[in-house]
Structure 1
Amino acid sequence: MHCLSLALLLLLLCSRAEAGEIIGGTECKPHSRPYMAHLEIVTLQNRLASCGGFLIRRNFVLTAAHCAGRSIMVTLGAHNIRKKEDTWQKLEVIKQFPHPKYDDNAFLHDIMLLKGDSGGPLLCAGVAQGIVSYGRKNAKPPAVFTRISHYRPWINEVLKQN
């Protein structure tokens, strides 16, 4: 079983588990997953929310479309988002690219690209295969993931244009 970083698990599960609780995860060596991103979101209702994401290019993060908001701050280089470290990079998202067919009522096409001066992956053999879309409140299976490979043409087009 591939380990996921503590930061990823906290990010992906914080809305589904008690604060600080990790369900079914193991802590990885600090900073062994440098592509992981924490998203601090100001929602359209001016509430604070969090999501996970991951770098797919130097200045693009892939995440779930339901993580869109009024503004998003990306933190990179964090092992535990609750403990500030010198490795942190905080960058403001300058543009959000939710998939054009995203349906927030049905969680269809729940994928989004973020671009600035810079919904957590499903990893199989170290390769990102999906983005967490939704799951049970206790974070136990089953969970639903958006399959990344289906969206490669759209991802490549947005990356090419930006």
Structure 2
Amino acid sequence: MALHNTWVVLMLVLSLRGQVQTGEIIGGRPAVPYSRPYMVLLEMRMSKDKSRLCDGFLISDKFVVTAAHCQARTYDVFVGLHKFKNDPPPKAIQVSRAIPHEDFNNKTKINDLMLLQLSEKVNFTDHVRPINLASQGDHLPQRCIVSGWGSTSEDNQGMASELREVNVTLVNPPLSAVPHVYFSLGEIGPSQGDSGGPLVCDCEVAYGVVSCGTKDLKVYTKIPDYLGWIEGHIRKK
């Protein structure tokens, strides 16, 4: 499919269905244990006692970045996690304040970004450490990786037993009218289940947040465009 047509299909899907969320690592590999110490697993309590999972990532000892469409009634935050199913999980940390972007649009997923302020400080170790955020700039990063605990194929909707990762290559947007996002083409990459994880590029710097997509196109909220928003809310703590 041509690049322009792929983007048009994505916009139609996002506008009409409004629930295209991404996250499972398709075509990836197991991550080296604890090699992504900034990764966070979010267990979200929804209405009527339902729960679901998203990813996030530490940017300080009190704040996690994730996607705005990962909003919930309450959260259990797990840091220092590698295996999801077999090992006893670490102690859950609660969220004292959720800060979704005020202009987030749940239908189009524009401004799909949220900060979570933790109720207690995280103790940094070899297995738990924040990641730096990309500063302002318009260059297209190279050598990017996405990590997550989502399922490993479109047919398998269960969570992976351990953290997985996949390399993705970003491409220039065909339409200048679509602001504040990066995207990659192809089936390999994130898909259903692991929204909110980091797009990590150029020597372990977080450039984006896994947001939404289709089978052939994945979209990431562009962190450099929101750096002022993030820093402003952190200063308000």
Shorter-chain TM band: 0.7 to 0.9
Q: CA RMSD in A?
A: 1.7
Matched ranges for 1:34-45 at <5 A: 34-45=37-48
Corresponding position of 2:86: 83
Matched, 1:122 2:199: yes
> For each residue in 1:72-97, what CA deviation from the matched residue of structure 2 results, as whole angstroms up to 9, or x when unmatched?
111001112112247x2420111100
Q: Secondary structure at the match of 1:159?
A: helix
In the alignment, the residues of structure 2 paired with residue 34 and residue 58 of structure 1 have an alpha-carbon distance, to the nearest angstrom, of 12
1:55-74 residue CA offsets vs partner (Å, 9 max, x unmatched): 00111000000001000111
Distance 1:23 1:75 in 2: 23
Distance, in Å, in 1 between the alignment partners of 2:47 and 2:71 is 9
Higher relative contact order (CA 8 A, sep 6+): 2
- 2:58 is matched with 55
Equivalence for 1:99: 101
- Report the identity percentage: 38
Which stretches in structure 2 are left out of the alignment for 5+ residues? 1-21, 122-195
The one-letter amino acid of 1:67's match is C
1-side partners of 2:225 and 2:120: how far apart?
27
Q: Deviations over 1:103-122 (max 9, x none)?
A: 11110100000012252001
Relative to the length of structure 1, the TM-score reads 0.80
Match of 1:3 in 2: none
Query: 2:233 aligns to what SS in structure 1?
Result: helix
Distance, in Å, in 2 between the alignment partners of 1:144 and 1:130 is 9
Question: TM-score of the superposition, structure 2-length normalised?
Answer: 0.56
Structure 1 stretches lacking a partner, 5+ long: 1-10, 14-21
Residue 145 of structure 1, CA deviation: 0.6
Which residue does the alignment assign to 1:149? 224
Following TM superposition, by how much is the alpha carbon of 1:37 offset from its aligned partner in structure 2, in angstroms? 0.1
Q: Distance in 2 between matches of 1:53 and 1:41?
A: 12
Q: Give the equivalent residue in structure 2 for 1:161.
A: 236
State the match for 1:67 in structure 2.
Answer: 70
CA distance in 2, matches of 1:80, 1:27: 10
Per-residue CA distance 1:1-55 (angstroms, 9 max, x = gap): xxxxxxxxxx931xxxxxxxx4221212111111100000012453211000000
Indicate the residue corresponding to 1:30 in structure 2.
33
